[in-house]
Each structure stands twice: as structure tokens, then as C-alpha cells.
Amino acid sequence: MIYLLVDSSGFGGVESHIQQLAMLLQSQQVEVEVVFLQHYPSHPQYVQLKLHRIPYRFLSDSSVTGFFRRLKGSDVVHAHGYKASIISRFFSLFAPFHVVTTFHAGERLSGRLACYEWINRCTAGLSDNLAVSEQIRKAQLFPCKLQRNFVHCQKEMIKRERHATLQVGFVGRLSHEKAIDRFVLLSHQLPDCECHVFGDGEQAHLLEGEALTWHGSVPSMASYWQHLDVLLMPSRAEGMPMAALEAMENGVVVLSTDVGEMRSLLKSDCIVAESDWLSLSTRVIDLEREGSGSWLALSHYQQQRVKAHFSADACWPELAKIYRLA
């Protein structure tokens, strides 16, 4: 059995990664269960797990020890996030299960979170470790493999046309790292486009009075991708963002700053230096003026790129080795 362990209170890139990972394991006839350290009411991932018939459970403070002590040598705990990783490594000292942890965070942390992440890195010698970007991998103190995020891809290419008025979106946490402030400023440079924001967070107040459509936090983007033509990512920091992979798989053109693993994902004309983020508006304007042909060619290219290198099928052989299934 493989247990995907996480302490999660909302739905973002980590949760999307866990969803994709659980679906991949199921498709390979591997027993999997998502384990939450705590229960958070109205968590959108519970609905998604039920939809895909993925089993999940919650651990209270009193049941954590019992859960780990029942594990066998053939069991794998794949922990995501500092809290789940530290707890899993600690209990691996007293039980024979195999621990795998994934480092997701590409941004710089401060205060208490920075302290927890330091403990996470210092205890990583007790687990097999993965990182979603080369930058994150190089920052680790112990051996760590690069294992980029992936998405499940349909066999056939998604055939769609762009909207008459280009629909430009921001998807993710409304935070300094994801640069919602930059997206707002970029939207001012795009008067001939319609701009949308999907997400919530500590900088939501920056959207007040802005001429864009704020959809708030949605449990899944699956039914919304068809309403967008371009995903704009002016981020200050990233790992390998699930939003970018999902957008590309759904035929939405992704334009981004050069952070995290974006250079391994996008063509050079779809990426700009992080300090030159304002020029993203120029690329959007070019796409808008060039018409549907240019947009469609780029949409098809990005779909093919994801299918070839960032699909579940492409990533499974390496994951099977990590889980000691191959």
C-alpha cells in the first residue's frame, strides 16, 4: 500500500499533484490512500477524491502513532510538505515502512515556516527525497532526485479555437510569490483582452476595483480551462507549477517568467526574465494581433510537449522505481 500523507487546508499545486499521483497509482493497479493529518471542513479536495473513488482518511492527534505502528515493510508513506515529512521520518525510526518525501516549495520562507523547513531539510537523510524542480533539488542537504510534476493527458489532441476577444487568466494563490500584483498591472496593459483571476489568498485586496473578473477559489479548474486562451504567470518563484501543466494539456497557451522549471517546459518565446515581467504584456498583445493561426500553432505545440515529457505515462517508469515496484 502507498499512503500519500499531507497536512492540507486548501487546494493548490501540492494538492493537485497528490490528486494526479493517486490517479496514476490507481491506473497502475497499485493500492493507494490519501491520508490527511487533520480534517478541515469544506476542503475542496475531499470532493475530488470522492469523484475519482480514491480512498482517504484523517488522523487525529491520538491516531497518528497507531497509524504508523501498523505499517509493514512493504508499505510506502509518500509525504508532502514539511509537517508530514518530519512526522513520517520520525516514525520510520520505530517501524519498517519506506519513506518518500517531496519538496515542493520554490519560494523563500521566513519566520516560523522557515524554521520548520530547515528541520525538514536537516532530517531528509532519513528518507528517499524528490524535488519538483532542479533549483529546489540543489538546495537540499541530502541526496534528492528530480521528479517533475505531471498530468494525465487525453490520447487525442484537444481541438479548440481561441475566443474572438482573447481571454487571459491568472490561476493560483493570491500571494507575493505568485505575483498577483504583477498580473493586476499587466491587465492594465491589455485593454483589448478580458482578464480573469482564479484563486484566493492574502493579497486578494489587490483586486478591489479592478476591471477584471475574479472567480475566487474553485475546487477544480477542469471546467474552466475552456474559457481561457492564455495563462499568464508573472511569478517571482515557482517549482514546476501544476497550473501550467494543466493549462497546456487543455490547449491554453502559457506565458511565464523564467522561474523554477518553466524553462524546461516552455519555448523561449513564451518565457521572459523574471526581472522583465512587464514584457509579458507585449507577448499577449502579439498573440492577440497575430490572430487565431499563431495562437493555435502554439496551443498545439504546448499540448504535444506536455504529452511527450510531462504526462503520467511518461513519468511512471521512474516513479515505479522510487516506490520499489520495478
Distance between CA atoms of 213 and 195, rounded to whole angstroms? 6
pLDDT in 10s for each residue of the chain, 326 residues: 999 999 887 777 788 889 999 999 999 999 999 999 988 887 888 888 998 899 999 997 668 999 999 999 999 999 998 999 999 999 999 999 999 999 987 666 667 878 888 899 999 999 999 998 888 899 899 999 998 888 888 777 888 889 999 999 999 999 999 999 999 999 999 999 999 999 999 999 999 999 999 999 888 898 999 999 999 999 998 888 889 999 999 999 999 999 988 998 999 999 999 999 999 999 999 999 888 889 999 999 999 999 988 988 888 999 999 998 86
Query: Is the four-CA dihedral 167, 256, 287, 294 of positive or negative sign?
Result: negative
205, 101: one domain: no
128, 190: one domain: no
Distance between CA atoms of 212 and 189, rounded to whole angstroms? 12
145, 195: one domain: no
Name 151's bridge partners: 311
Give domain status of residue 157, yes or no. no
Crossing angle of the two packed helices 13-27 and 242-249, in degrees rounded to 10: 60
Round the CA-based radius of gyration of the chain to a whole number and report it. Answer: 20
Check if the beta carbon of residue 234 is closer than 8 Å to that of residue 284. Answer: no
Name 130's bridge partners: 102, 145
0.75 surpassed by pTM = yes
What are 292's three cell numbers?
Answer: 487565431
6, 146: one domain: yes
For every residue of 41-80, DSSP letters joined together read TT-HHHHHHHHTT--EEE--TTTHHHHHHT--TT-EEEEE
pLDDT for the residue numbered 10: 74
Domain span at 254: 167-309
277, 148: one domain: no
What are 24's three cell numbers?
Answer: 496514476
Give domain status of residue 161, yes or no. no
199, 135: one domain: no
pLDDT for the residue numbered 108: 67
Distance between CA atoms of 260 and 106, rounded to whole angstroms? 7
129, 147: one domain: yes
181, 264: one domain: yes
Q: Which helix (H) or strand (E) holds 101?
A: strand 98-103
CATH of the domain at 293: 3.40.50.2000
Q: Is 304 helix (H, G, I), strand (E, B) or coil?
A: helix
61, 171: one domain: no
Give domain status of residue 159, yes or no. no
pLDDT for the residue numbered 15: 87
pLDDT for the residue numbered 324: 87
13, 44: one domain: yes
65-54-75 Cα angle (round to 5): 40
261, 189: one domain: yes
Report how many domains make up the chain.
Answer: 2
For every residue of 187-229, DSSP letters joined together read HHT-TTSEEEEE---TTGGGGTT-SSEEEE--S-STTTGGG-S
294, 186: one domain: yes
Residues 6+ apart with CB under 8 A from 70: none
